[in-house]
Amino acid sequence: MLTNGEAAISINARKALGPDHPLRAENGERLGLGIEIVMGVSDVESLHESIRAHGYSVSELVLQPWGLRDFRVMDPDGYYIRVTSRH
C-alpha cells in the first residue's frame, strides 16, 4: 500500500480477485497500457527504501532534469506508478 495523507494506492495481484470481480481481466486483455499514476510525497527517499525492503522491484531513485526526484514501480498488472518529490 502506497499512502500519502488520505490518498492510497494498493498494489495487488489480480489472481487475488474473485472470478466475478469487476476489475478482473478478460482473456488476452492487456491492463495498465498507457496509464501512469503519479504520487507526490514529502520524503521520497524513505518511501523508496521501504518499498524495496518489502521486496518490490523498483527503479533507482533519480534526480530528474526538471528538478524532481523520483522512482518508478510497476504493479503486477502493468500499471506504471511514479513516486516523486521536490528535490
Give the residue ranges of DSSP H helices in the chain.
Answer: 44-53
Instruction: Give the range of the structural domain holding residue 81, as residue numbers without chain letter.
Output: 2-12+32-86
For residue 31, which of 17, 43, 41 has the smallest C-alpha distance? 17
45 inside domain = yes
Q: What is the pLDDT of residues 24-68, one digit of tens each?
A: 777 777 777 667 788 899 999 999 999 999 888 899 999 999 899
Question: For residue 7, what is the domain's CATH number?
Answer: 3.30.720.110
On whether residue 40 sits in a domain, the answer given is yes
Grid cell of 24 as nine digits:
478482473
pLDDT digit string, tens, across residues 20-35: 776 677 777 777 766 7
Residue 18 in any domain: the answer is no
Average pLDDT over residues 4-22: 75
Domains contained in the chain, number: 1
Instruction: Evaluate whether 2 touches 43 at the Cβ level (below 8 Å).
Output: no
pLDDT band at 19; cut points 50, 70, 90: confident
